[in-house]
Chain A
Amino acid sequence: MRVLGIESSCDETGVAIFDSEQGLMADALFSQIDMHALYGGVVPELASRDHVKRLRPLVDQVMAESGCTPADIDAVAFTQGPGLIGALMTGACFARALAYGWNVPAIAVNHMEGHLLAPMLAPEKPEFPFVALLVSGGHTQLYSVEGVGQYELLGETLDDAAGEAFDKTAKLLGLPYPGGPHLAKLAEQGDATRFKFPRPMMDRPGVDFSFSGLKTAVRTAANQIEQITEQDKADICASFQEAMVDTLTRKCKRALKEAGMKRLVVSGGVSANIALRSRLQKTMAGMQGELYCPPLSYCTDNGAMIALAGWHRMQAGAQSQALGLVVKPRWPLKEA
């Protein structure tokens, strides 16, 4: 079975074709990062305007790359939410009409479920059950996952998402947009022990997160330095990242213990962070457990994870969306 997946929930247009036997056949992505960089963040109207320009060329591209004809496609999967409403509508209306024209089912996918299942695009795929850390610019959540559609929320951030904290800290230090990857790069040259930033909520039971205090601590530390040098910045980045990685790792460990599991899946934009990956790898090895992450290029938004999740949903009995559809800008994964 072949599923064409369409992602358009934020600032990336992604289209991909997933085959249940061969795996990913083609994958195309257009990122709007450069456009939004001018404004220091995603401008929703510009995002929507761009999706409408990219969808057709990207579909043409994956059809050509895979050598598929329309008759080879068995379903169209699309992101129904959560995300920016205008961006979601653009991709959903296009996808629904495409599926109608091809006379195949249109499968609605929760974007976060796409992220959660993205590690299955890697050569070594996790088996159920597992604990999943979804960590991105919009989310920081820990789930116990028994199977497709069986998600129990164990804990989540009470304020900023981890990726948001990365980006805001980077902005504070004057790093270019999007800040997270720039911060991680600069951290490589820094001394992670110079600043002792807080590990919020570590002294409390449970696996909820809070990152706004960490952000404030960084601001205070930066303001105390009179003439901030590049080395100071690198040290702040390294110390910040250390606090972040330490917090995320310890909460994952706690969640695994609570759930009585030894498999950890980490996905979402921040899962591309190398320091986080290597710390989690070490931790899981120490617990005789296993860590699964998406291939680096599938950590951020992409069409491949939507095609994959759409296929999983069909296996679980999902039916085609009606011709008239709604998008779900807010759509908790546990309701998916």
Chain B
Amino acid sequence: MNILALDASTEACSAAVLVNGEVVQSQYQVAPRQHTQLLLPQVDQVIADAGLTLTDIDLIAFGRGPGAFTGVRIATATAQGLAQASGKPLKGISTLAALAWLQLKNAEQGKRVVAVLDARMGEVYCCAYERSESGLQALTNEQVCAPEKMPEVEQINSLVGTGQDMQAQFPLAYQTLSFDCVLPCASEIAELAALDPVANSGMPVYLRDNVTD
């Protein structure tokens, strides 16, 4: 199975191609406010470098959020356009899950992390995950909340994502954990899509829905 994945949910912008369970090509660039200029060229590049064309792709996966609203929509609209043109199925993947997978894919079963993204306005997007036998298991709902209000899950090994400057306000047990500061990448989105290659609605998930103030 060939999977194309793309993401623009944070300052990073990325695309990857996965063939038979392995990411064979990826592009990743940190470039705030340049995603509309970079994303589709990255997609074109990874497909070409993999020796494929869009018609060879079996599933199009994208970072469906949470993250920066505009970035999430750039990835979603681009993925939708590709899916519309090619008739290929579309799958939105959680950006928090992509962060957790980066930490847990090579970890032993039972390891736990909390994926965090700075949601601005003094809040974080967060979700706790555990390495399961076959992949990734969410332990909480994804949520947007004040750092103090993060749901506390036992036996968390580390934190991953952004928002480290708010760590002192996290629940006590989280304050001393190591924090791996990384941004989501299309490679993990492709791998997660490969673990469960069933299409979904292909729509963004913002978590923050009160946007009219």
Q: Which residues of A contact B (CB under 8 A)?
A: 39, 43, 45-46, 48-49, 51-53, 55-56, 59, 70, 85-86, 89-102, 322-327
Nearest-neighbour CB distance to chain A for B164, whole angstroms, equals 27
- Report the interface size for chain B: residues with CB under 8 A from the other chain: 30
B54 touches A101 (CB 8 A): yes
Nearest-neighbour CB distance to chain B for A42, whole angstroms, equals 11
Chain B residues within 8 Å of A55, by CB: 77, 80-81, 84
Nearest-neighbour CB distance to chain A for B12, whole angstroms, equals 16
Is B106 close to A, CB under 8 A? no
B81 touches A52 (CB 8 A): no
Q: A94-B78, A324-B41 are in contact. Are A101 and B84 (CB under 8 A)?
A: yes
The interface bits of chain B over 48-84 (1 if a CB of A lies within 8 angstroms of the residue's CB, else 0) are: 0000001000000000000001100110111111111
A98 touches B84 (CB 8 A): yes
Q: Which of B73, B84, B86 contacts A48 (CB 8 A)?
A: B73
Interface SS, A side: helix
Other CB < 8 Å A-B pairs besides A94-B81, A97-B78, A324-B38, 5 of them? A39-B212, A48-B73, A94-B80, A101-B85, A325-B37
Q: Which residues of B contact A (CB under 8 A)?
A: 36-41, 43-44, 54, 69-70, 73-74, 76-86, 202-204, 206, 211-212
Chain B residues within 8 Å of A101, by CB: 54, 81-82, 84-86
Q: A97-B77, A324-B36 are in contact. Are A52 and B204 (CB under 8 A)?
A: yes
Considering the complex, give the chain A residue whose CB is closest to the CB of B204. Answer: A52
Q: Which 9 A-B pairs have the closest CB atoms?
A: A101-B85, A97-B81, A324-B37, A93-B77, A94-B77, A98-B81, A323-B40, A94-B81, A45-B211
Chain A residues within 8 Å of B85, by CB: 70, 97-102
Tell which of B77, B78, B80 has the most Cβ of chain A within 10 Å: B77
B74 touches A59 (CB 8 A): no
Can you give 8 A-B contacts (C-beta < 8 A)? Answer: A49-B73, A93-B39, A93-B74, A94-B81, A97-B78, A97-B84, A100-B44, A100-B81
A56 touches B80 (CB 8 A): yes
